[in-house]
């Protein structure tokens, strides 16, 4: 590597604030001084209060109504089905059977 290349590299490091050189002393490295922290977003942001799209009203309401009708038997006792509820296991089994 030529002396000119090394000299140019050191000059660039010094200009960018990564190298501190003093006459009669060795050069030392350091991070450049931190600039001010921006208070405004530099890129567009997403409001987390509204980050999800609205669900189709009718379909969701019908699904909630179906779930409300079907949940009563599962609320009679505390706890949960460790292996999963039978209708869900049966539906999952049918999906596996179709795929296999």
Each residue's pLDDT tens digit, 32-41: 777 777 777 7
Task: List the beta strands (DSSP E) in the chain.
Answer: 19-20, 28-29
**Domain assignments of the chain as residue spans, ordered by start:** 1-32
Q: Which helix (H) or strand (E) holds 85?
A: none
Residue 51 confidence (pLDDT):
63
Q: For 13-17, what is the mean pLDDT?
A: 89
Query: Which CA distances in Å does 50 have to 5, 11, 29, 30, 54?
Result: 54, 50, 46, 43, 9
Taking the C-alpha atoms of residue 45 and residue 52, their distance in angstroms, rounded to an integer, is: 14
Answer with the residue of higher pLDDT: 11 or 42.
Answer: 11
pTM of the model: 0.33
């Amino acid at each position: 590597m030529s002396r000119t290349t090394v000299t140019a590299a050191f000059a660039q490091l010094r200009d960018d604030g990564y190298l501190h050189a003093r006459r009669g002393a060795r050069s030392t490295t350091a991070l450049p001084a931190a600039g001010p922290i921006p208070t405004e977003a530099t890129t567009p942001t997403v409001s987390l209060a509204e980050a999800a799209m609205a669900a189709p009203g009718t379909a969701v309401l019908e699904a909630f109504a179906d779930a409300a009708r079907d949940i009563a038997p599962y609320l009679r006792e505390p706890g949960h089905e460790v292996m999963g509820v039978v209708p869900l296991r049966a539906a999952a089994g049918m999906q596996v059977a179709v795929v296999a």
